[in-house]
Structure 1
Amino acid sequence: MRNKTDDGLSALWPYPQWVAHRCGGKLAPENTLAGFDACVRHGYRMVEFDAKLSSDNQTFLLHDDTLDRTTNGRGDAAKQTWAHLAVLDAGSWFDRRFAGEHLPTLADAAARCERDGLAANIEIKPCPGRDALTGELVAAVALSLWRSQTPLLSSFSFDALAAARAAAPHLPRGMLFDEVPGDWRRIVGELQCVSLHADHRHLTQPLIDEIHAAGLRVLAYTVNDPVRARQLVQWGVDMICTDRLDLIGANALS
């Protein structure tokens, strides 16, 4: 029996309100261990990052389908072996101070979360045509690696999240949307989600109330304006994902 509060939600929600987008937001190269350092430095207790597969099915952190924007590599990430990806520079594009920063594996991310006491929102980010396999392997690896704090899995891909549910049914799931569709109840119900994650620009007080009434938590992304963050807090949003770790958070908004 789930313990309920007056609003119908579980009282045992384990995740912090403030979530660092792509590990370090605008303060470090995204999806790198340097981003974890920035998260900790600014007092954040939860990170969000993107996980995908190499051609030989290593789980690693990267947002884009291609390597060009955030590494010194080129082309499709899904066509490269981990041996090739592991030596790429994933920091210089952001600032030369981060030259030599590498793409972390999901195991690297788990170790850093364990070391620093961080909760994790793992966004399953499949390359085209690899939705189910990515969801299955990311969930299986997460299940085997995380010990202290259960990670929250999320994805824009229904198929990836469905495969994650099959591989690790006890790991909590959140469905990602841009604008929340009219049939969101059906989608999150089929996936047995615990949370709904949406672009904050499409969230309203009545919609948040509806989602809460359905027994789900709400994550708003990517909120970089402190005024908007305060409004969302007043509306009852459960988690706010931000790039501006220096401007938004428990200390910054107190």
Structure 2
Amino acid sequence: MTNPVTAANWPYPRWVAHRGAGKLAPENTLASFMLGASHGYRMFECDVKLSADGIPFLLHDATLERTSNGKGVAGELSWEALAKLDAGGWHSPAFAAEGLASFEHIARFCLDKGYFLNIEIKPTPGIESRTGTVVANEAARLWQGTATPPLLTSFQPLSLEAARAAQPQLPRGLLLDELPASWLETAAGLGCVAIVCNHKLWNADTVAQAKKAGFRLLSYTVNDEANVQRLLALGTDGIITDAVNVFKPDL
């Protein structure tokens, strides 16, 4: 990686497709990334956790029922077992038999096409540190020698701390669904370059505080025009959206 990503050296586009293509395709699958790309998106967000045998793969929930035909805790199954599941039929017949995506498969798709990636480290509860370590090590391996590394984000400080210890050169962002009193101190203590908030938390005051502290500001999940315009007017840096068919990214 040539130049480290910092708040001053920020290479990512403003628009980020949530879980590949939002709700238009089965989330966190290769099909969703391909559909998001067909709408002109060049940066994607996805959730990555570990199989029982330590293989990073894409899934949001701790359990399999909502987005596959599997049952139980995903992290308790081997990748061999997970790879046999249907992760598309729940969404619509057009995506029946779409499989769960390994992190490496998605990474190579993005690298081949020159796309940017926001990796949310989404650990199975209890293995926050291990997940941060493995995901960071795999990201560093896959993006070695490339100009722009992925952005690693998480709601879990333990995962971000482990990612920093393993691969300190990879940029990190703290995900927040509320703002505790120590939100800026926590992000700074983890060496983050960005804060990624529920978009409702950004206002003139919080934006000013975060900018003064030297962070880039991203928002999730923004699906309506009024909030897009509000966040643009506030001067935030990234908009994560499901509505990839509504908002045209700035290319």
- The one-letter code sitting in structure 1 at the alignment partner of 2:127 is R
SS in 1 for 2:141: helix
> Is contact 1:226–1:247 with CA below 8 Å preserved after alignment?
no
Structure 2 Cα separation of the partners of residues 232 and 249 of structure 1: 16
Counterpart of 1:127 (choices 124, 127, 152) is 124
TM-score (norm 1): 0.93
SS in 1 for 2:23: helix
**Aligned residue type for 1:27:** L
1:153 aligns with 2:173: no
Aligned to 2:113: 116
Shift of 1:9: 5.0
Q: CA shift at 1:200, angstroms?
A: 0.5
Instruction: Tell me the alpha carbon deviations over residues 78-127 of structure 1, each in whole angstroms, 9 at most, x when there is no partner.
Output: 11011100010000001110011111111101111012211000000001
1:148 positional shift:
4.5
* 2:210 paired residue number: 211
| Cα RMSD for the two superposed structures | 1.6
Give the corresponding residue for 2:3.
none
Q: Which moved more, 1:26-35 or 1:181-190?
A: 181-190
Matched to 1:59, the amino acid is P
Partner of 1:182: 181
1:248 deviation in Å?
Answer: 2.0
Gaps of 5+ in 2: 1-5
In 1: Cα distance, 2:249 partner to 2:26 partner: 23
Unpaired segments ≥5 residues, structure 1: 1-7
Amino acid across the alignment from 1:192: G
Structure 1 residues 208, 192: CA separation in 2 closer, same or farther (over 3 Å shift)? same
Residues 200-219 of structure 1: CA deviation (Å, up to 9, x unaligned): 01211221121011110011
CA contact (8 A) 1:33 1:109 kept: yes
Q: Which amino acid aligns with 2:44?
A: V
Match of 2:219 in 1: 220
**Which stretches of structure 1, 4 residues or more, deviate above 6 A after TM superposition?**
none
Tell me which moved more, 170-179 or 203-212.
Answer: 203-212
- Whole-angstrom CA distance in 2 between matches of 1:115 and 1:94: 27
1:181-231 alpha-carbon deviations (Å, 9 max, x no partner): 221121011110000010001211221121011110011000011111111
Distance 1:139 1:34 in 2: 24
- The letter of the residue matching 2:201 is H
Show the counterpart of 2:31. 34
Structure 2 partner of 1:167: 166
Q: In 1, are the aligned partners of 2:7 and 2:194 still within 8 Å (CA)?
A: no
CA contact (8 A) 1:86 1:102 kept: yes
Change (3 A) 1:227 1:144: same
1:144 alignment partner, one of 141, 145, 164: 141
* TM superposition shift of 1:249: 3.2
Give the length in aligned residue pairs. Answer: 245
1:73 to 70, 75, 90: 70
What letter corresponds to residue 222 of structure 1 in structure 2?
T
CA contact (8 A) 1:28 1:35 kept: yes
Sequence identity of aligned pairs in percent?
A: 47
The counterpart of 2:19, out of the listed 22, 32, 36, is 22
Alignment of 1:92-107 (within 5 A): 92-107=89-104
- Counterpart amino acid of residue 96 in structure 1: P
State the 1:250 CA deviation. 3.3
Name the CA distance, whole Å, in 2 between partners of 1:227 and 1:250: 16
